[in-house]
Amino acid sequence: MGLHVDIDLLADFEQGLDPRHPELSLVPARVLGYGEISTTFEIDRQTGSGLAFKRMPIFETEAELSDYERTFNDYIRRLDDIGLNLPPYDYATLSPAGGNTVFFIVQEKLSGDSIGNKAIHLVPRSDVVRLVRQVLRELAKVWEHNRLRKGVELGIDGQISNWSVRGFEAAGGELPEQVELVYFDTSTPFVRLDGVEQLDPELFLRSAPSFLVWLLRMLFLEDVVTRYYDFHLVAVDLIANFYKEQLPDLIPELIEEANDFFAMEASQLEVAPITLKEVRSYYREDALIWSLYLNMRKADRLLQTRVLRKRYPYILPGKIKRH
């Protein structure tokens, strides 16, 4: 692990949290990033300095929490074993009165400029292409493991925003000659043992509006989880997000680079080539789904807080700019 969690700081933070405006909480916090079931932030206290906190208020029972904790630790151990670089971390749990148990993952805070979706706007075009190829090399470690280890299958979310370039500083204007990446999105532990998913898929629905849960379960849940075990789809997702990052002109070159990687460096994995039509279609569908989902979550927050007078425990992003 390598870090120490100040549980008193987390207790104070959780007790005084304003989920709608975290920066105005009794213990102020700045959001660093949003996920489907979690939010990452830094806390404005001395004992929280230099740390990133990922908050997951989704666990309703001790059994759920225990199963998740076991799978989380197993996932990190396996990622480390196959050679991915992971940041030092620790974790803690809190059980507020009248609410879900909150699981906090605490990691060493990485330089903002080093995070992939920031770095791609700070370096030359050739460096962006080089960075994506290095991400593909790291991802290939997962599928090489899956190819060789029968009965144990790992999945991963390879989006550019889940990687940090070790040693990169914006002042330099270029990536290091040898690009070394750190993968920090470990909160969704994708592990299958003998074909059985170890992460409870229902956790993905925990933050969904109650009036949508049945529809999301029926139409999307299996596809959302399964995509992270398919190298082709993970690579499509990685490249398609350059639309969201306002760099669509790079996408044809990134597709060419990915296909070259699959054909040359990762030929043993037999990954099908990516097409521009596929990337466009994937992004449009994905953007529509998540935009509708976020709007429904905001409607649910309004219902819970204004009509039912309940506490809404999730921190939602504002308007997301998309291409």
Q: How many domains does the chain contain in total?
A: 2
Query: Are 261 and 303 members of one domain?
Result: yes
For residues 218 and 300, membership in a common domain is answered with yes
> What percentage of residues in the chain have a pLDDT greater than 70?
97
**Both 134 and 63 in a single domain?**
no
Q: State residue 322's pLDDT score.
A: 54
Residues 104 and 116 in one domain: no
**In terms of domains, do 99 and 170 share one?**
no
Q: Which residue has the higher pLDDT, 146 or 44?
A: 146
Answer whether residue 210 shows pLDDT above 80.
no
Q: Is residue 21 part of a domain?
A: yes
Q: How confident is the model at residue 55 (pLDDT cuts 50, 70, 90)?
A: very high
Q: Is the predicted pLDDT of residue 1 greater than 80, yes or no?
A: no
Task: Calculate mean pLDDT across residues 216-242.
Answer: 88
Cα–Cα distance, 208 to 316 (Å, whole number): 12
| 158 and 137 within one domain | yes
Question: Does a structural domain hold residue 224?
Answer: yes
Residues 119 and 133 in one domain: yes
Where residue 39 sits, what CATH number does that domain have? 3.30.200
pLDDT of 35 above 90: no
144 and 258 in a single domain? The answer is yes
Q: Which of 60, 84, 108 is the last residue before a domain boundary?
A: 108
Q: Are 49 and 43 in contact (CB under 8 A)?
A: no
What letters, b where the CB count within 10 A reaches 16 and e where it falls short, cover 72-86? bebbbebbeebebee
User: What is the predicted pLDDT for the residue at 185?
Assistant: 94
Residue 303 gets which letter from DSSP? I
Separation of alpha carbons 203 and 186, rounded Å? 15
pLDDT at 40 over 90: yes
Q: Distance (Å, rounded) from C-alpha 75 to C-alpha 32?
A: 23
Q: Is there a single domain that holds both residue 133 and residue 175?
A: yes
Q: Which of residues 108, 123, 153 is at a domain's end? A: 108
Which residues neighbour 271 within 8 Å (Cβ) at sequence distance 6 or greater? Answer: 143, 231, 232, 235, 262
Tokens 């929280």 locate to: 48
Tens of pLDDT along 171-206? 778 999 999 999 999 999 999 999 999 999 888 888
Question: Is 314 a domain residue?
Answer: no
pTM of the model: 0.91
Query: Domain check: are 225 and 119 in the same one?
Result: yes
Does residue 303 share a domain with residue 163? yes
For residue 101, what are the domain limits? 7-108
Alpha-helical regions (H) of 162-250: 213-219, 221-226, 231-244
Q: Would 323 be classed as within a structural domain? A: no
Cα–Cα distance between 251 and 240 in angstroms, integer?
7
Rounded to 5 degrees, what are φ and ψ at 215? Answer: -70, -45
Q: Is the pLDDT of residue 39 over 70?
A: yes
